[in-house]
Amino acid sequence: MNAPEGLAGRGVPRARRTLRRRQRTDVLIVDLATGSMHVLNSTALGVLDACNGHRTVDQIVMYLAEEMQQTGPDLDAQVMVTLEQLTAGNLVDWQ
């Protein structure tokens, strides 16, 4: 797992491979390895989807801004907080 604490050395996050999703308005993510369930809003889902194990945190921000057309002056801060929450929920591993 690792990373957070201010996203430490800002490694590369990757969504855990044991996750499955069920979509409604928000998305229910089920970790098949642990049985834990998490409900994500669209922002958190966008960040999780961008965590492919290849994008850095800065690249995730750029991806959300460009590809998913998410905007706002605090997008960087939103991504950082969301990554901290996804890490705390054991939804991403850091490489």
Domain residues for 79?
13-83
Residue 2 lies in a domain: no
Residue 37 lies in a domain: yes
CATH number of the domain to which 76 belongs: 1.10.10
Task: Give the pLDDT mean for 78-86.
Answer: 93
> Is the model more confident about 55 or about 66?
55
Residue 94 lies in a domain: no
- Cα gap 39→29, rounded to integer Å: 6
pTM beyond 0.85: the answer is: no
Residue 3 lies in a domain: no
Contact 55, 64 (CB under 8 A): no
Task: Give the pLDDT mean for 24-49.
Answer: 86
Instruction: Please tell me the total count of domains within the chain.
Output: 1
Residue 5 lies in a domain: no
- Cα gap 70→88, rounded to integer Å: 24
Residue 90 lies in a domain: no
